[in-house]
Amino acid sequence: MELSQRHLAAELGVSEPTVTRCMKILRQAGRPLNRLAAVRLLAIAELQAAGFSSAVAMEILNEASAEIAFVHADPSRKAWLLFVEQPRQSFRLSALGERHLLALLESLPLATILPLHSVVSAASDRLDKVLARNARRAAA
């Protein structure tokens, strides 16, 4: 059985139009629904569970789309997002390895860290469950 926005909507407990709007915001509108796009959509829920609003979650996922693709392509890869709040500016950085993360933390010790690889892994696991459930339903 092929994955559809209807399946993702059911998994997230939202309507199909909500999934369509999210896909537009994630710049996936009009494109075939592939595994990476589904993982990005499910990652919204993972970020919301971590305390981010849906709008901020989608903004983060858009900004970190290359990092998400990097981690998704090989689950052994790791990536982190660092959120830096300074008196005059706020910004986000990404680290694509442990050494890179440690180097950034030396210069920005008060940065808040989001392990992006954990978010992608959780979203990917959730997608695997959706696909398995759909396969069982199709076989029945």
- pLDDT tens digit string along 41-55? 999 999 999 999 989
Range of the structural domain that residue 37 is part of = 5-139
DSSP calls for 60-113: HHHHTHHHHHHHHH-TT---EEEEEE-SS-EEEEEESSHHHHHHHHHH-TT-EE
CB half-sphere exposure, 24, CA atoms < 13 A: 6
Q: How many domains does the chain fold into?
A: 1
pLDDT digits (tens, 9 = 90+) for 112-130: 999 999 999 999 999 999 9
Instruction: State the pTM of this model.
Output: 0.87
